[in-house]
Structure 1
Amino acid sequence: MGSEKQEFIWLSGLLFLNILVLSTADVHYYEFFLKESQFTKLCSTKSILTVNGSFPGPEIRVRRGDTVFVNVHNQGNHAVSLKWEGVKGSIDGSNELIQPGRNFTYKIELKDEIGTLWWHATSDWAAATVHGAFVISPATNEDYPFPAPTSDQTIILGQWFRQELTEGDKTIAPGRADAYTINGDPGVTYGCSNDTTFEMQVDYEGLYLVRVINAVANETMVFGVASHSLTIVGQNGAYTKRSFTNSLTLAPAQVVDVLLCANVNVGHYYITARPSSGTYITNGILRYLTTSS
């Protein structure tokens, strides 16, 4: 009898929490414009398909239980559709191609997803440049189940191809990448002085929630920050039991949320990402802004 009463109380509390979340949920509207844009990397310029002219694409940032409308305008040359990785509910139109000159609005109703998801084009050639983060923070009346971070940072591991992935009316399936990127930046390891390097700035003793997304098709990526340990707190849109590691190994399309404590000697440290099957490596910089006492 006692266990049944406890189970009833637990279920009642869960129901109350869900009602509370739904009652404070918001509705968000985003406009995505698919178009060709010129980008220069590895000392050469090429045209790539982008969303709103950026690579990676824009970040969606909402709260648990919110509803999101994303109106996608296809101003490119090829039919494209978007996939919403980690969203549990069905999304109307996810299997339909958006033809050039047309638009379609996705309606995404979030339930208990929390942490980090991501979106990308469904075809491999377009997904190489058309992708972005989908960040879901706790609802207004919710707290993190771990120490509240000072700030958060999204890191998307991507890839770059020298070749054009479209030729006339044909699209080319990408092969092995010529470079890997952190938030679109190849870093300094590929021999081109004009390439940009991603930089994450931190304060000494700050606690940072780092959202790492592997947007590299068909490659497992290894990610780490020199001299810093990472605490895993979430994966693929859900909290997980905390675990500690010095590096992350992310399968294609995998997302891992980690806590990083900036508590080592003040300076700057390399952020690295590399495919597990190859020798290419890309790097960024973790830079301390304040000194320790």
Structure 2
Amino acid sequence: MASQKQAFILLSVLFFFNSLLFSGADDVYYEFILQEAEFTKLCSTKTVLTVNGSFPGTEIRVRRDDSVYVNVHNQGRFAVSIDWEGVEDSIDGANELIQPGRNFTYEIELDDEIGTLWWHARSAWARATVHGAFVILPAAGEEYPFPAPTSDLTIILGEWFRQELTEGVVPGQADAYTINGHLGETYGCNDTSYELQVDYQGLYLLRLINAVANETMVFSIAQHSITIVGRDASYARRSFSTSLTLAPGQTLDVLLSANQNVGQYYITARPSSGRLNTTGIIHYTTSTGPLI
């Protein structure tokens, strides 16, 4: 009887360690440096607050069930905190301001989230440029509940203000809109366009994020249909559309099949108010044809 009990305990211990070994969950570490940087858009140069000097900021890319540690160093002039949009579990210290010259490490435990979330500065003035994607891939050994994509790409719809935004400044109506930080050719200031290169018959998982604070955004790709497969970090029943409407802060995971005639096609993002828009380009890699 004793030997059976010992064998049961031994098997239980082995099962526990095997589950840890094959779960694939990891501790993942990121360093965010909040710092000011100069950007030239809309025919003028201004200073904005960024993460690691980029706009949009650094993308976090992890797997389901991972533990994520983000050490934020504030080298800016004003206190800032980061909001982890859509993370289910509470985060210790999430409401605490990180003072200039100080740092704070956010500890984020992922559970059922799968797909696309995002992070952003909590303050309205900083949120316009301090934001980025938070991508949660399937756990090791898991597969997508839809055809495996050729590639996985993030598209963040943002906004740009001519005025310099600092503490105490409440942003008004945006002066322009961006796709992954690019204004495109709409505004006549030689601003660059976001370009997405695709291979004919490739299948692309696009992770769309509406980082525009107070505008519903409409997104479309000329002559291409899009299949919705997820929203706000959960899988969704597949549906098809030629244009997508994203509420402020919403994320969508969609499949794009590059099945049109080889060429170049416009990507368009505009607020539902229709006041302004921005464009990008889908470029088939074997194409030198005109824009469609």
> In percent, how many aligned pairs have the same letter?
72
CA pair 204-174 structure 1, distance change in 2 beyond 3 A: same
Query: Using the alignment, how far apart are the partners of 1:150 and 1:178 within structure 2?
Result: 36
1:290 Cα offset (Å): 3.4
Structure 1 counterpart of 2:187, from 174, 180, 190: 190
Structure 2 counterpart of 1:282, from 271, 278, 283: 278
Query: Using the alignment, how far apart are the partners of 1:57 and 1:172 within structure 2?
Result: 21
| Match in the other structure for 2:228 | 232
| Match in the other structure for 2:215 | 219
| Match in the other structure for 1:38 | 38
Structure 1 counterpart of 2:263, from 253, 259, 267: 267
Query: Under a length normalisation based on structure 2, what TM-score does the superposition of the two structures give?
Result: 0.90
> Does structure 1 retain, via aligned residues, the 8 Å contact 2:23–2:140?
no
Query: Using the alignment, how far apart are the partners of 1:205 and 1:40 within structure 2?
Result: 36
Amino acid at match of 1:178: D
1:121-159 per-position Cα deviation (integer Å, ceiling 9, x unaligned): 001110000000001111111000000000011000000
| SS at structure 1 position matched to 2:49 | strand
Asked if 1:258 corresponds to 2:261, the answer is no
1:22 Cα offset (Å): 7.8
> Does structure 2 retain, via aligned residues, the 8 Å contact 1:274–1:282?
yes
| Match in the other structure for 1:68 | 68
Query: Using the alignment, how far apart are the partners of 2:117 and 2:226 within structure 1?
Result: 19
Matches within 5 A, 1:171-210: 171-193=168-190, 195-210=191-206
1:83-104 per-position Cα deviation (integer Å, ceiling 9, x unaligned): 0011110101111100111000
Amino acid at match of 2:133: A
> Does structure 2 retain, via aligned residues, the 8 Å contact 1:155–1:183?
yes
| SS at structure 1 position matched to 2:185 | coil
Query: Under a length normalisation based on structure 1, what TM-score does the superposition of the two structures give?
Result: 0.90
| Match in the other structure for 2:245 | 249
| SS at structure 2 position matched to 1:189 | helix
Asked if 1:59 corresponds to 2:59, the answer is yes
Query: Using the alignment, how far apart are the partners of 1:21 and 1:58 within structure 2?
Result: 29
| SS at structure 2 position matched to 1:171 | coil
| Match in the other structure for 1:164 | 164
1:212-265 per-position Cα deviation (integer Å, ceiling 9, x unaligned): 000000100000100000000000000000000001100000000000000010
Pick the structure with greater CA Rg.
Answer: 2
Structure 1 consecutive aligned stretches of length 4 or more whose deviation exceeds 4 Å: 19-22
Query: Using the alignment, how far apart are the partners of 1:25 and 1:161 within structure 2?
Result: 40
Amino acid at match of 2:286: T
CA pair 208-20 structure 1, distance change in 2 beyond 3 A: farther
| Match in the other structure for 1:148 | 148
1:196 Cα offset (Å): 1.0
* Uncovered stretches (5+) of structure 2, i.e. residues with no partner: 1-15, 288-292
Query: Using the alignment, how far apart are the partners of 2:274 and 2:171 within structure 1?
Result: 16
Query: Using the alignment, how far apart are the partners of 1:55 and 1:227 within structure 2?
Result: 29
| Match in the other structure for 1:11 | none
Query: Using the alignment, how far apart are the partners of 1:261 and 1:278 within structure 2?
Result: 27
Query: Using the alignment, how far apart are the partners of 2:119 and 2:59 within structure 1?
Result: 9
| Match in the other structure for 2:115 | 115
| SS at structure 1 position matched to 2:78 | coil
> Does structure 1 retain, via aligned residues, the 8 Å contact 2:184–2:278?
yes
Amino acid at match of 1:188: E
User: How many residue pairs align between the two structures?
Assistant: 270
1:20 Cα offset (Å): 7.4
1:20-53 per-position Cα deviation (integer Å, ceiling 9, x unaligned): 7982101110000001100000110000000000
Query: Using the alignment, how far apart are the partners of 2:102 and 2:38 within structure 1?
Result: 22
